[in-house]
Structure formats: structure tokens, C-alpha cells
Amino acid sequence: MDLLVRTTWVFTTKRFKNLLFIPRMGSFTSAPQIKNVDYQDDKLEITDGMSVPDLVDYCRIARGDERPQLVKRKFLKPIDRLNGSDLTDGFKMLQLDSISKTCSEPSATATQLRIFQWNMLSQTLGMHNDGFVRCPLEALTWECRRYQVIEEIVQNDPDIICLQEVDHFKFLQKILSTQNYEGVFFPKPDSPCLYINGNNGPDGCAVFYKKDRLEMVNHFTRVLEVWRVQSNQVAIAAVLRTLDTQQEFCVTTTHLKARKGALLSKLRNEQGKDLLYFIDGVAENRPVILCGDFNAEPIEPIYSTVLNYKPLGLASAYSDLLAEESQDENNQNALNTGVERSGERCSRSSIGSAHSATDDCGLSNGVRTKAEQSAAYEPPYTTWKIREEGEVCHTIDYVFYSKDKLTVKNCLMFPSGEEIGVDRTPSFQYPSDHFSLVCDIELKPASDGSQSDVCSTIPNHQL
């Protein structure tokens, strides 16, 4: 009895009392797991050595010519300002004229990298668990989605791919290897997919990189902790080296806890702290690129936590570039449209045309904090969906980067509400409820040239 009283006292003290109210961080069900493996694409055969245009054509034919094409998107800077050449004809360098105004020229220099971040939507969860009431059932089938997923990735010709909700890693590995990509995958320990009949194994995070431009020095995985208790969210940190310049940097991808509420916001912030400590130990003063679905709008604590973690010196790639464009344009109309963070006003034509108001929101005693300044220039949405409980349109996906060691050169814009369609996403025109984030980032010359060859240990930081 005395032991029971003492144990109860320990877990009701200020430090541990929050643990009493943590909802289960995995499946939210007591049903037994259905432990399938990744097998559904084992019979897929694909020709090796296809060019990007050939692979895109292959995907379109395999999916069906009668299907609508992917939603078209443009880069923020379609003009190469260094030489004045027009890059708006899609894959001009790849001779893919049918993809009009989709991408700018990738990887213009040896130190410039194209980063692709995407929550691609778990097939099992999207089909059985997410309640996309306006999406045709056929559009959610893997037979329909899988070739759109590949098309969305390869048409942007990224050097690094960071993905969340991956439950068909073998499929991605098989297809992307034809384009000289290599990848690593880390599943959630208690993936909700494993409680659904017909699953293809657990979902998790994945990182791919182009072997003809990069090599992997090492990679680490982590199950993120909350108050020293493992959660169900994971992260991958990969140390990569450019083949041309031998510069090393750290790329990390993660997917933080979903759901609304003050407690869940607190959990995400604690996961974020653990994530930052983890990255700090892996990066060892290398430049950092952090990509992921944070399930948090810029007003949440985790956003500020990431930006204010001094050892990494991170900034938001999209926010910085959009702020720079607004300043360059010197267009006050673009600064004063007052787009609301709540997602209730997501109908404007493009994210480049307006930003949050600078004079009546995001102020702390009349002075903007670093996070408030950054939040004002984030895109109005990275996900737009309609579920049983209603329409959701907000920004929860990010690409963060080491501002003193990297430079953001370009980013892919988001489609307008009209272009997306009244049924939103996912749809026949787009295979996920999240839009991909694509950034061109340039490595600055190393200041001292000192970098560790490998990462051997991760320090055990105190929360």
C-alpha cells in the first residue's frame, strides 16, 4: 500500500502529471494488430533506365489516358534572373513539353539542391480511415493513386525526397531506383495501418536521394519522446555529401502527432524538442534541412520552438522566399490582404498574391517576434480537404533550413481553390490531401571547412 501511495505521488507531481492525461499515441484502439508486410506491389515490373519524360508517360498510360491530369503548379521564380532565360516551359531541359509551366530548371549549380517534401497519404488510412467524403472511392484506390504519386515526384526532378505516411515503400523503391534514387524507411512502432484489414504494413517516413549527385555518409532513426516516454511518431536524419564539392549536410524528415486540442499541441511541442536535440546530435554543425508534416499551424508553440532553437539556426524556406519576393515587389497591396490563418479564407488565386496583414495581426506588445514575422509569410495552406466534420484548409507542412549555411533560391507555388476544385483533395487530379513542398536550396561555402566524416554517437540531451 505504501508503494502504491508513493508511486501515485510521483506521477501526480508537476513534472509527470501530464502523463496521466496522454491519449494513446498509436492506434487509438484496443483491437489486435493485423501484421501484414509490404507485398501489394511485388508483381510490378518496370523497365530500368527510363528517362524522366518516359517515366511520366509510363505513369499516365498505366493510370489511363482518360483520367484528368495532375493539378498544374508553377514555381515562384519562373525566370532565371542570372541570365534572363525563360524557364516557364515546364521541363524544357528534359524536353517534356506536355507538362506546361510545371517546373523551373532544377539543380542549376553543383551546390544547388532541389528538396521535395510530401505527406503522400497512407493508402490504408486514406481508403479506410480518413473520411474524405467528397473524394470518389475510385480515386482513393491504390491502382489509381500510385502512378500519380510517382508522377508528382519525378516531374519535379528532386535531388532529395522526404515523405510521410509511406506504406508502399517497396513500390517507391522499385520505381525511383530507375531514376537513380536510393532510400531509407522507418515505420511507426504502432502504426494505425496495422489495425485495418487489407493493410500493406505500417506507415512511416522515408528519405530518398539521387546517387549521381549525392552519397549517404550515415543515417539515424528515432522514435520521438514526450517527457521521456516514446510516442508513435518517428524521424529519419540522413547525413549526405555532394559528389562534386564534397560538402556535407543533414536532411531530416518527420511526422508529428495529429489531432486538435491544447494537450495535443503540447505533445507536438515536446516531440519537436526531442526532434531538435536529435538533429543537433546528428548534424554536428553541418547545415540542416528539416522537412515534415508537423500537424501544427504557425501559431502553435512547435513552430516557434523550431525557429528559436539556437544551435541549429533554422528558418522557414517558404516564408523567407515569399517575404523576400514581397519586399522586392514593394507591393503594399500584397502585404495588406489579411489572409486568415484559420483556413476560412482559402479562395484567393495564388499564394504569391497576398500574405497576412503586417499591421494588425501577430503582434506582441507592438513588436513582432521571430516566429510571428515568419508566420506572416507562410503559405495560407499546404493541405485542403473535406472530411465528415467539415472542410479543413491550413498550413501544417514545412521545410526548415539553416539560414546561415544555406540559401533558398526558389519554391513551388500552390494551386488556387478554383484549380483544386470544389471537392478539394484527394481527387482524380491529386493523390494526397497534402500538397508537396518543393524548394531549390543552395549550399554556402563552408566557413572553416571542418566537418566530421561520420556520425558515430548521438548525445543524450535532457528535456
Regions of the chain short of the pLDDT cut 50: 1, 4-5, 8, 11, 20-24, 79, 81-103, 107, 334-335, 337-345, 347-364, 449, 452-457, 459-463
Tell me the C-alpha distance between 243 and 5, whole Å.
61
> What local confidence, expressed as pLDDT, does residue 88 receive?
40
Cβ-proximal residues to 366 (8 Å cutoff; 6+ apart), any chain: none
Cβ burial, residue 137 (10 Å; 0-12/13-18/19+): exposed
> What local confidence, expressed as pLDDT, does residue 286 receive?
98
SS3 state at 247:
coil
- Which residue is it, cell 515490373? 45
> What local confidence, expressed as pLDDT, does residue 346 receive?
57
Tell me the C-alpha distance between 420 and 351, whole Å.
13
Cβ–Cβ under 8 Å, residues 441 and 409: yes
At residue 233, φ and ψ (nearest 5 deg) are: -105, 150
CA-wise closest residue to 323 among 313, 312, 335, 314: 335
For the chain, how long is the longest CA-to-CA vector?
79
Q: Produce one character per residue of 420-436: b if its CB has 16 or more CB atoms within 10 Å, e if not.
A: bbebbbbbbbbbbbbbb
Helix (H) or strand (E) holding 248: strand 248-255
Cβ burial, residue 172 (10 Å; 0-12/13-18/19+): buried
> What local confidence, expressed as pLDDT, does residue 446 receive?
75
Domain parsing of the chain, residue ranges: 33-332+382-443
SS3 state at 437:
strand
Cβ–Cβ under 8 Å, residues 396 and 348: no
At residue 54, φ and ψ (nearest 5 deg) are: -65, -40
Please give the CATH topology (third level) of the domain spanning 33-332+382-443. Answer: Deoxyribonuclease I; Chain A (3.60.10)
Amino acid present at 271: Q
Cβ-proximal residues to 165 (8 Å cutoff; 6+ apart), any chain: 119, 120, 121, 122, 125, 203, 255, 293
> What is the rounded radius of gyration, in angstroms, for the C-alpha atoms of the chain?
22
**How far does Cα 286 stand from its chain's mean position?**
21
Vertex 440: Cα angle to 437 and 444 (nearest 5): 135
> What local confidence, expressed as pLDDT, does residue 319 receive?
98
Q: Are strands 214-226 and 314-316 parallel, antiparallel or unpaired?
A: unpaired
Cβ–Cβ under 8 Å, residues 383 and 332: no
